[in-house]
Amino acid sequence: MSSVDHTPSGSAPDAQKWVDVQASDDFAELKRRLTKFVFPVSGLFLAWYLLYVLLADYAHDFMSTKVVGNINVGLIFGLLQFVSTFVITTLYVRHANKNLDPLAEKLRGEIEGDGK
Amino acid sequence: MNESSPILNISIFGVFVLITLFVVIRASRNTKTAADYLAAGRAFTGPQNGIAIAGDYLSAASFLGIAGAIALNGYDGFLYSIGFLVAWLVALLLVAELLRNTGKYTMGDVLSFRMRQRPVRAAAATSTMAVSFFYLLAQMAGAGGLVALLLGITGTGGQALVIAVVGALMIAYVLIGGMKGTTWVQIIKAVLLIAGAAIMTFWVLGKYGFNLSSLLGAAVDAAPKAGEKLLGPGLQYGKTGTSKLDFLSLALALVLGTAGLPHILMRFYTVPTAKEARRSVVWAIWLIGIFYLFTLVLGYGAGALVGPDAINAAPGKANSAAPLLALELGGPILLGLIAAVAFATILAVVAGLTITASASFAHDIYANIIKKGQEEDKDSEVKVARITAIVIGLVSIGGGIIANGQNIAFLVALAFAVAASANLPTILYSLFWKRFNTAGALWSIYGGLIVTITLIILSPAVSGSPTSMFKNADFALFPLSNPGIVSIPVAFLLGYLGTILSKDKADAVKQAEMEVRSLTGAGAEKATVH
């Protein structure tokens, strides 16, 4: 086994099979389900993070406005970054377990099952 | 006031070393193949690996550095931890699982998958070594200051000796235990670190009736110079337009760097499946997030209970905030425990970096470039990895002694900037852009690397200001200390231009194989069975 060919020995699918699977409806659906979640969500959290950084960088007075006691807007915004990170993590895991894993497993079974 | 006791500190650290060495030796008994040595047989569970990732990520710079930055600069220190945490979403959503499904041991496996092997592997290995080297230097440089504080060793010779001992121990861990032993060291260290931080956090909060607002008020009262400004942004970065831009640049490198750090990426190969890789990231995100919430309390707590003047007067300055807080709260014993954890942190992170760099040399350069893939997975690959680990260990001891006293946070930020510029664009293009080809990969890796390092050399961090590495020279043509805001977009652009301007055609069949494998996990490396 050379480095050019990464497929493990055993039920190694040939080149044509990868191309066929890539062109299949199931695979297109799997890819669609993945990208329609991860791309918009990545854009969203990066924009939200950037907004926070810009506020912290250029809107000192706004961020220093006190809300309750010594807790100010900046601290709340900062803690909300933690909350949004935890929420997105949980949502992604739910999405992956429900919508991605079963389809990926089905395709994997089809690819590796052949030729045995 | 309680006094620090160097003998107590060394004894507690000694106990940690004995326990971890025992675990490492036990773990090494089943280490036979390259997959065992370099990827721990892919047999760790998601939660175990997640804890180990937290151990790798919560380096001395994030523990001592962030707590200290919050104690002295207030809110601006908190900004670091937010960037470090949000960055994990990039790893979770875009990188971890796909990487686990396509690679074997190194970042180079993924980047070179559908490209011409030798040039792309050489580029990936170069960039892996560069990032690991900067990161190693940061950890070893931090060890010196820590030694001064905790063991009362202030002479350069004595500190150099301690750095050498730490380095030698780390080499022993890596040689004996490989990835499995190193992972266990990370797990033990992460549990101790998070538990120690949790105890101190509740202790501090308890002193203020579990009221965050009172704690913040006390921190403001203890810092007459900064006063109310401690609670809002701007104390450290808000002075001028340039420093604001510098902060924006740093923030970009932090959020995009994590998913390009080779020692973090390599951890995803220690689990059996992509699903476990996902679980590891989820565990890591929760642990790291909770830890950073602790550091917020610890930082302001150190400001309130120890006070900025006492912190600034201590050897190691900001880095001593957390240890001084431990001394204030629990006396010499708590300080000894926290000190041992801090040493363990440096030891574990350095071991993780060393095994990553040596794996990249053994797998990408030796097995795949020099031996053209003939030696892959053979015993010789492990042997080369072990020899490389010794060389890297010796280089990092030397570098650590020379860099002793340099700013840790700056060196870590540098590693993040290189990772975000040279690695992340190439990883994302390889995984998601069909047309991406060998020329594009080389342009984005080497381009990102060269632009980042050039800008750093020309920055005020290296020359031309009182805090520079070379105070007496001035070749600072670039105004920012953090290059990310320029180097990251440039690297993305170079990857794009390299691809469309070259006559190379992307290999459509390999692209199909990579895409199908990355999404389905078909043909992925399995766990080894013993």
Every domain of chain B and the residues it spans: 7-403
Interface test with B, best of A36, A84, A89, A116 (most B CBs within 10 A): A89
- For the record, the structure tokens of B98 come out as 């796909």
Question: How far is the C-alpha of B273 from the C-alpha of B522, rounded, in Å?
Answer: 10
Domain membership flag for residue A8: no
What band does A10 get if pLDDT is binned at 50, 70 and 90?
very low
- For chain B, say whether A93 makes contact (Cβ under 8 Å): yes
Query: So what's the ipTM on this one?
Result: 0.91
Q: What is the pLDDT of residue A13?
A: 59
- For the record, the structure tokens of B14 come out as 């000694």
What band does A5 get if pLDDT is binned at 50, 70 and 90?
very low
- CB distance B134 to B411 below 8 Å: yes
Domain membership flag for residue A50: yes
- For chain B, say whether A21 makes contact (Cβ under 8 Å): yes
User: How many CB atoms within 10 Å of residue B472?
Assistant: 7
Comparing CA positions, the residue from A48, A83, A49, A43 lying closest to residue B285 is: A83
A8 versus B461: which is more confidently predicted?
B461
**Backbone phi, psi, residue A68, to 5°:** -130, 125
For chain B, positions 477-516, list CB contacts with chain A under 8 A.
508-509, 512-513, 515-516
Chain A, nearest residue to B378 by Cα: A1
Percent of chain A with pLDDT over 70: 86
- Owning domain of residue A91: 15-113
- For chain B, say whether A108 makes contact (Cβ under 8 Å): yes
**B232 to A31: CB separation less than 8 angstroms, yes or no:** no
pLDDT digits (tens, 9 = 90+) for A39-82: 999 999 999 999 999 999 999 999 999 999 999 999 999 999 99
**A42 to B94: CB separation less than 8 angstroms, yes or no:** yes
Q: What CA–CA distances, in Å, run from B120 to B9, B86, B114?
A: 46, 29, 10
Comparing CA positions, the residue from B172, B135, B133 lying closest to residue B24 is: B172
Q: What is the pLDDT of residue B407?
A: 66
Comparing CA positions, the residue from B143, B177, B214 lying closest to residue B27 is: B177
| Chain B hits for A37, Cβ within 8 Å | 93
**B86 to A30: CB separation less than 8 angstroms, yes or no:** no
pLDDT digits (tens, 9 = 90+) for B200-250: 999 999 999 999 999 999 999 998 888 888 888 888 888 888 889 999 999
What band does A8 get if pLDDT is binned at 50, 70 and 90?
very low
**Backbone phi, psi, residue A66, to 5°:** -80, 140
Q: Where are the alpha helices (DSSP H) in B361-378?
A: none
- For chain A, say whether B468 makes contact (Cβ under 8 Å): no
Amino acid at B128: T
Q: What is the pLDDT of residue B236?
A: 80
Question: How far is the C-alpha of B389 from the C-alpha of B378, rounded, in Å?
Answer: 17
Angle between the N-to-C axes of helices B117-151 and B379-403, in degrees from 0 to 180, rounded to the nearest 10: 50
Q: What is the pLDDT of residue B409?
A: 66
Give, as one character, the DSSP assignment of residue A70: T
Chain pair A-B, CB pairs under 8 angstroms: 178
Q: How many domains does chain A fold into? A: 1
- CB distance B489 to B447 below 8 Å: no
Give, as one character, the DSSP assignment of residue B404: T
**Single pTM value for the model:** 0.92
Chain A, nearest residue to B114 by Cα: A4
Question: How far is the C-alpha of B329 from the C-alpha of B338, rounded, in Å?
Answer: 12
- CB distance B304 to B219 below 8 Å: yes
Domain membership flag for residue A3: no
Domain membership flag for residue A10: no
| Chain B hits for A69, Cβ within 8 Å | 211, 213-214, 216-217
Interface test with A, best of B514, B516, B525 (most A CBs within 10 A): B516
Q: Where are the alpha helices (DSSP H) in chain A?
A: 15-23, 25-58, 60-63, 73-95, 101-113
Closest Cα of chain B to A89: distance in Å? 7
Give, as one character, the DSSP assignment of residue B529: -
The CATH-assigned architecture of domain B7-403 is Up-down Bundle (1.20)
Q: Which residues of chain B have pLDDT under 70?
A: 1-4, 61, 148, 375, 377, 405-407, 409, 529-530
- For chain B, say whether A31 makes contact (Cβ under 8 Å): yes
pLDDT digits (tens, 9 = 90+) for B238-291: 888 888 999 999 999 999 999 999 999 999 999 999 999 999 999 999 999 999
Q: What is the pLDDT of residue A57?
A: 92
For chain A, positions 50-69, list CB contacts with chain B under 8 A.
50, 52-54, 56-58, 60, 63-64, 68-69
Q: What is the DSSP string of B172-227?
A: HHHHHHHHHHHHHHHHHHHHHHHHHHHHHHHHHHHHTTT-HHHHHHHHHHH-TTTG
- CB distance B414 to B261 below 8 Å: no
Q: What is the H or E stretch that residue A12 is in?
A: none
Amino acid at B330: G
Question: How far is the C-alpha of B25 from the C-alpha of B30, rounded, in Å?
Answer: 10
**Backbone phi, psi, residue B434, to 5°:** -55, -45
Q: Is the pLDDT of residue A91 over 90?
A: yes
User: How many CB atoms within 10 Å of residue B206?
Assistant: 10
Question: How far is the C-alpha of B13 from the C-alpha of B338, rounded, in Å?
Answer: 10
| Chain A hits for B213, Cβ within 8 Å | 68-71
Question: How far is the C-alpha of B333 from the C-alpha of A84, rounded, in Å?
Answer: 38
Question: How far is the C-alpha of B193 from the C-alpha of B344, rounded, in Å?
Answer: 9
Percent of chain A with pLDDT over 90: 75
Closest Cα of chain B to A94: distance in Å? 11
Closest Cα of chain B to A47: distance in Å? 11
